[in-house]
Amino acid sequence: MDAGTDSQLAETTSDGNKEKFQLTENETVQVESNKRSRLKVATVCILCFFNLTYYMDRFGIAGILTAIQCDLGATDSQAGLLQTAFIIPYVIFSPVVGYLGDRYSRRLILVLGIFFWSCATLTASFMPELWSFIVVRSLTGVGEACFSSLAPAIISDLYASNVRSKYLAVYYFAIPVGSGLGYIIFAEVATAADDWRWGLRVTPVFGFITVVLILLFLQDPPRGQSEGSRMKTTSWMNDLKYFATHGSYIWISIATTAVAFIAGAFGAWGPKYITLGLVTQEEQQSEDISDLLGRVSLVFGFITVVTGLMGVIFGSLMGTKLRGKYPTIDPEICGFGVLASVPLIFAMTILARGPEAPTYITFFFGQWFLNLNWALATDMLMYTIVPTRRSSAKALQILLNHVLGDAGSPYIIGLLSDAFKPLVDSGYSTKYLASPSSFLRNGTLPIEEQDCDLSPIDVTTAERDFTALQYALFIALFIQVLGAFAFIATSWTIIDDKAEVDRAAAINRIKNDNSVQSESTVDDSISNKPTVTPPTIVISEYL
């Protein structure tokens, strides 16, 4: 074989090896890309799982609220405090977690927070007295502070644009779906075990499972990764000044706080309110009260789950499809959805004293319209706030949502209900009492005269309790109207605020590219090699 043939074979062999190496390298890149995609999806699934668990625990207590009141001797205001007490530790830890979440490992913060939440939730179920139960339950606010402000920011750093909207929609399924499942699971477990405390012992198990999943699979992406930028963090005072002058952030925070108020009020008191309305009817008085309450909690939970799924899906799809043509469609969907739910929920409060079907139908459509905003509100927040401030922005907003919204509303409604009871002139309860002297000065029946094993609701005062709670819930509807107009007002500022974020991300990308090119030029000058970009090599090899 001559030298020319040997040289040609050598070149062919060399080219073949090069092609084989190139294919192997491409396959490796493809495998790594698929692995990263799977881990990103796994991260979203883990966050959704715990969000579902958290809201199961948060609102599931409403499914066993009357049993807790009867067993621990709690008034309506004290029962409302069960949903409100966690706000004290949350207020303390939420700003700290938001600050740390924008600067340090969010994965570690999630692990510590969720583990503490699980321990506090489990421990509370063993507390024998009312106030010890309230205090230990309040410690769950520490865990929520660690989770609720970080999870949406992580999803926003994993995905951008419409993909982010879809995954945030999946994440916010957990609010109505978890709430509805909580009503059902807590009530059914408590009934099966003949003890309401076992209902509280379900969610801690899911919490410990979440900790293991986070340690194994959760990804903590760099801040701003989805936008292709690497912005520097700023001081906490600068962040606060930014939020205080950010029009969209202010309006969205007001709107979501108002929606959280109505959701917390009806989420905590809805099952008891409907049950009281049924108890006041002659045809329902033959049914066992415990069975009636369980049935109402089951239907209430089912409606909450279905309307949550429908509302979040419809809201997210409408926003995604129409956003390109109508830039202000997101706040308008939220605003008109909340406003449309007001007359429906009002009708539900009126019809609760009558047949069940109209009550559930109006509640179904009222919840459907109300749930249109859950995913869109967070999506608006994320695309109008720069990446390095998103955790702090979400932490501060959730703090407002809780203090003035869903954490405070159960206690406020319970307090108003207790205040209205002496003013309600029903005359219904006197038909069942041998003597008016068995009333306390505020008109309530002494708790020791009620047999909790026979009935968690006092039939002798059901008419008065229903009317007082109805008046208290009417006040929540005024707050809901305020939230609707705040969402609509967001449309006045959202275009400019989103453009400012896009402009900041673009400028940052240009700076990063220039910095990389400068470093590459310096390295090439030192090595005295010509500057060759990798894409040119790949294209030339394929050509």
Four-residue CA torsion sign, 65, 69, 72, 78: positive
Residue whose tokens read 């699971």? 185
Tell me what pLDDT residue 117 has: 92
Four-residue CA torsion sign, 467, 255, 330, 102: negative
**Cα 298 to Cα 289: distance, rounded to the nearest angstrom:** 14
Tell me what pLDDT residue 240 has: 83
Mutual angle of helices 140-148 and 3-60, in 10-degree steps:
140
Q: How many CB atoms lie within 10 A of CB 198?
A: 16
Which helix (H) or strand (E) segment is 65 a member of? helix 65-72
Tell me what pLDDT residue 349 has: 92
pTM for the complete prediction?
0.69
Four-residue CA torsion sign, 486, 265, 369, 362: negative
Tell me what pLDDT residue 390 has: 77
Residue 49 CA to its chain's centroid (Å): 11
Contacts of 35 (CB under 8 A, 6+ apart): none
Q: Are 383 and 331 in contact (CB under 8 A)?
A: no
**Cα 336 to Cα 430: distance, rounded to the nearest angstrom:** 45
List average pLDDT for each run of 10 residues in the chain, which is 543 residues long. Answer: 48 47 55 72 89 86 80 80 78 79 83 92 90 89 81 80 75 78 84 86 92 88 62 74 88 92 86 86 62 81 86 86 87 93 93 89 93 84 81 80 82 87 61 36 42 60 86 90 93 88 75 58 48 36 28
Helices within 433-493 (DSSP H only): 462-490
Four-residue CA torsion sign, 116, 117, 118, 119: positive
**Cα 326 to Cα 110: distance, rounded to the nearest angstrom:** 37
Domains and CATH numbers, the chain: 31-224 (1.20.1250.20), 238-430+459-513 (1.20.1250.20)
Tell me what pLDDT residue 173 has: 75
Tell me what pLDDT residue 529 has: 46
**Cα 296 to Cα 298: distance, rounded to the nearest angstrom:** 5
Which helix (H) or strand (E) segment is 111 a member of? helix 106-124
Four-residue CA torsion sign, 371, 351, 424, 73: negative
Tell me what pLDDT residue 532 has: 42
